[in-house]
Protein backbone atom coordinates (compact mmCIF):
# COMPACT_ATOMS: atom_id res chain seq x y z
CA UNK A 1 0.00 0.00 0.00
CA UNK A 2 1.43 3.35 -0.97
CA UNK A 3 1.19 6.43 1.15
CA UNK A 4 -1.15 8.01 -1.38
CA UNK A 5 -3.71 5.22 -0.94
CA UNK A 6 -3.46 5.54 2.84
CA UNK A 7 -3.97 9.31 2.59
CA UNK A 8 -7.01 8.80 0.39
CA UNK A 9 -8.45 6.32 2.87
CA UNK A 10 -7.79 8.75 5.72
CA UNK A 11 -9.53 11.54 3.78
CA UNK A 12 -12.55 9.30 3.10
CA UNK A 13 -12.75 8.31 6.76
CA UNK A 14 -12.56 11.96 7.88
CA UNK A 15 -15.22 12.97 5.35
CA UNK A 16 -17.48 10.15 6.58
CA UNK A 17 -17.02 11.22 10.19
CA UNK A 18 -17.80 14.82 9.23
CA UNK A 19 -20.99 13.74 7.44
CA UNK A 20 -22.06 11.68 10.45
CA UNK A 21 -21.48 14.67 12.75
CA UNK A 22 -23.43 16.93 10.40
CA UNK A 23 -26.39 14.54 10.26
CA UNK A 24 -26.38 14.12 14.04
CA UNK A 25 -26.32 17.86 14.62
CA UNK A 26 -29.06 18.44 12.03
CA UNK A 27 -31.27 15.79 13.65
CA UNK A 28 -30.68 17.24 17.11
CA UNK A 29 -31.53 20.71 15.83
CA UNK A 30 -34.71 19.48 14.13
CA UNK A 31 -35.81 17.51 17.20
CA UNK A 32 -35.49 20.63 19.33
CA UNK A 33 -37.62 22.61 16.87
CA UNK A 34 -40.45 20.10 16.72
CA UNK A 35 -42.41 20.01 19.99
CA UNK A 36 -43.68 16.58 20.89
CA UNK A 37 -47.17 15.96 22.23
CA UNK A 38 -45.82 14.09 25.24
CA UNK A 39 -43.59 17.04 26.08
CA UNK A 40 -46.56 19.40 25.86
CA UNK A 41 -48.63 17.20 28.20
CA UNK A 42 -45.79 17.03 30.68
CA UNK A 43 -45.49 20.81 30.59
CA UNK A 44 -49.24 21.15 31.24
CA UNK A 45 -49.05 18.78 34.20
CA UNK A 46 -46.08 20.63 35.61
CA UNK A 47 -47.92 23.94 35.32
CA UNK A 48 -50.88 22.56 37.28
CA UNK A 49 -48.79 21.36 40.22
CA UNK A 50 -46.93 24.67 40.68
CA UNK A 51 -44.16 23.61 42.98
CA UNK A 52 -41.71 26.13 44.33
CA UNK A 53 -38.85 26.45 41.91
CA UNK A 54 -35.26 26.13 42.99
CA UNK A 55 -32.59 28.30 41.46
CA UNK A 56 -30.40 25.37 40.55
CA UNK A 57 -33.16 23.77 38.48
CA UNK A 58 -33.81 27.02 36.64
CA UNK A 59 -30.12 27.52 35.93
CA UNK A 60 -29.74 24.00 34.58
CA UNK A 61 -32.80 24.46 32.35
CA UNK A 62 -31.38 27.72 31.01
CA UNK A 63 -28.07 26.15 30.11
CA UNK A 64 -29.75 23.09 28.61
CA UNK A 65 -32.06 25.17 26.42
CA UNK A 66 -29.26 27.12 24.73
CA UNK A 67 -29.37 24.74 21.80
CA UNK A 68 -26.91 24.31 19.00
CA UNK A 69 -25.04 27.43 17.98
CA UNK A 70 -23.04 28.27 14.89
CA UNK A 71 -19.85 27.76 16.89
CA UNK A 72 -20.93 24.22 17.77
CA UNK A 73 -21.52 23.45 14.10
CA UNK A 74 -18.20 25.05 13.17
CA UNK A 75 -16.32 23.01 15.75
CA UNK A 76 -17.84 19.69 14.70
CA UNK A 77 -17.80 20.27 10.96
CA UNK A 78 -14.46 22.02 10.45
CA UNK A 79 -12.33 22.32 13.55
CA UNK A 80 -12.49 18.77 14.89
CA UNK A 81 -11.83 17.04 11.54
CA UNK A 82 -9.03 19.52 10.75
CA UNK A 83 -7.25 18.89 14.04
CA UNK A 84 -7.72 15.13 13.71
CA UNK A 85 -6.44 15.20 10.11
CA UNK A 86 -3.41 17.24 11.14
CA UNK A 87 -2.49 14.94 14.01
CA UNK A 88 -3.21 11.84 11.93
CA UNK A 89 -1.14 13.00 8.97
CA UNK A 90 1.77 14.03 11.20
CA UNK A 91 1.69 10.61 12.86
CA UNK A 92 1.48 8.93 9.46
CA UNK A 93 4.52 10.84 8.18
CA UNK A 94 6.52 9.95 11.28
CA UNK A 95 5.53 6.30 11.03
CA UNK A 96 6.20 6.14 7.29
CA UNK A 97 9.51 7.95 7.71
CA UNK A 98 10.68 5.32 10.16
CA UNK A 99 9.65 2.51 7.82
CA UNK A 100 10.53 3.84 4.36
CA UNK A 101 13.59 5.87 3.34
CA UNK A 102 11.80 7.34 0.30
CA UNK A 103 9.57 9.33 2.67
CA UNK A 104 12.64 10.98 4.17
CA UNK A 105 13.73 12.06 0.67
CA UNK A 106 10.43 13.93 0.23
CA UNK A 107 10.22 15.18 3.81
CA UNK A 108 10.12 18.86 2.80
CA UNK A 109 6.82 18.40 1.00
CA UNK A 110 5.38 16.51 3.94
CA UNK A 111 6.50 19.09 6.47
CA UNK A 112 5.03 21.84 4.28
CA UNK A 113 1.68 20.04 4.23
CA UNK A 114 1.85 19.47 7.98
CA UNK A 115 2.62 23.18 8.47
CA UNK A 116 -0.28 24.22 6.23
CA UNK A 117 -2.69 22.04 8.19
CA UNK A 118 -1.03 22.89 11.48
CA UNK A 119 -1.55 26.66 11.30
CA UNK A 120 -5.34 26.61 11.56
CA UNK A 121 -5.28 23.51 13.77
CA UNK A 122 -3.01 25.21 16.30
CA UNK A 123 -5.22 28.31 16.32
CA UNK A 124 -8.26 26.13 16.98
CA UNK A 125 -6.47 24.29 19.78
CA UNK A 126 -5.30 27.61 21.28
CA UNK A 127 -8.84 29.01 21.21
CA UNK A 128 -10.20 25.84 22.80
CA UNK A 129 -7.61 26.11 25.56
CA UNK A 130 -8.45 29.80 26.07
CA UNK A 131 -12.13 28.94 26.46
CA UNK A 132 -11.20 26.20 28.93
CA UNK A 133 -9.00 28.61 30.91
CA UNK A 134 -11.86 31.12 31.02
CA UNK A 135 -14.27 28.46 32.29
CA UNK A 136 -11.78 27.43 34.96
CA UNK A 137 -11.31 31.06 36.02
CA UNK A 138 -15.09 31.50 36.26
CA UNK A 139 -15.38 28.32 38.34
CA UNK A 140 -12.58 29.50 40.63
CA UNK A 141 -14.22 32.90 41.06
CA UNK A 142 -17.58 31.25 41.74
CA UNK A 143 -16.13 28.94 44.37
CA UNK A 144 -14.26 31.83 46.02
CA UNK A 145 -17.50 33.80 46.16
CA UNK A 146 -19.38 30.77 47.45
CA UNK A 147 -16.75 30.13 50.12
CA UNK A 148 -16.87 33.77 51.19
CA UNK A 149 -20.66 33.59 51.37
CA UNK A 150 -20.44 30.50 53.59
CA UNK A 151 -17.89 32.26 55.82
CA UNK A 152 -20.10 35.37 56.05
CA UNK A 153 -23.18 33.24 56.74
CA UNK A 154 -21.41 31.31 59.49
CA UNK A 155 -20.12 34.54 61.04
CA UNK A 156 -23.60 36.09 61.03
CA UNK A 157 -25.15 32.89 62.41
CA UNK A 158 -22.56 32.84 65.20
CA UNK A 159 -23.19 36.52 65.90
CA UNK A 160 -26.95 35.93 66.00
CA UNK A 161 -26.56 32.92 68.29
CA UNK A 162 -24.41 35.00 70.64
CA UNK A 163 -26.96 37.81 70.58
CA UNK A 164 -29.80 35.38 71.36
CA UNK A 165 -27.78 33.87 74.20
CA UNK A 166 -27.02 37.35 75.57
CA UNK A 167 -30.73 38.29 75.42
CA UNK A 168 -31.67 35.03 77.17
CA UNK A 169 -29.15 35.70 79.92
CA UNK A 170 -30.39 39.27 80.24
CA UNK A 171 -33.98 38.02 80.49
CA UNK A 172 -33.01 35.46 83.14
CA UNK A 173 -31.19 38.14 85.07
CA UNK A 174 -34.29 40.38 84.98
CA UNK A 175 -36.49 37.49 86.12
CA UNK A 176 -34.17 36.77 89.03
CA UNK A 177 -34.16 40.46 90.03
CA UNK A 178 -37.96 40.50 90.15
CA UNK A 179 -38.09 37.53 92.52
Q: What is the pLDDT of residues 84-107, one digit of tens each?
A: 888 888 888 888 887 878 877 888
Cβ distance 91 to 3 under 8 Å? Answer: no
pLDDT at position 28 is 76
> Is it the case that residue 39 has pLDDT exceeding 70?
no
pLDDT at position 5 is 75
Cβ distance 116 to 90 under 8 Å? Answer: no
pTM (predicted TM-score): 0.44
- Give the separation between CA 74 and CA 127, rounded to whole angstroms: 13
Q: For the residues of the chain, what is the DSSP string, one character each?
A: --HHHHHHHHHHHHHHHHHHHHHHHHHHHHHHHS--HHHHHHHHHHHHH-PPPPHHHHHHHHHHTT---HHHHHIIIIIHHHHHHHHHHHHHHHHHHHH-HHHHHTHHHHHHHHHHHHHHHHHHHHHHHHHHHHHHHHHHHHHHHHHHHHHHHHHHHHHHHHHHHHHHHHHHHHHHHH-
- Comparing 39-53, 71-85, 113-127, the range with the smallest average pLDDT is 39-53
Cβ distance 96 to 48 under 8 Å? Answer: no
CA-to-CA separations, 53 to 42, 49, 64, 146, in angstroms, rounded: 16, 11, 16, 21
> Is it the case that residue 116 has pLDDT exceeding 90?
no
- Give the separation between CA 172 and CA 179, rounded to whole angstroms: 11
Cβ distance 117 to 85 under 8 Å? Answer: yes
pLDDT at position 170 is 92
Residues 6+ apart with CB under 8 A from 116: none
What would the mean pLDDT of 53-71 be, rounded to a whole number? 55
- pLDDT band at 114, cuts 50/70/90? confident
Amino acid sequence: MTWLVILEMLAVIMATISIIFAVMMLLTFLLKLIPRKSQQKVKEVKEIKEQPKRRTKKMSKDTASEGITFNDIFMFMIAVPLVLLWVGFAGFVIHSGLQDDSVLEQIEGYTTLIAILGGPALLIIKDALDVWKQEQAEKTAFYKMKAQSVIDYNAKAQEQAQMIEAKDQEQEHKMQMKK
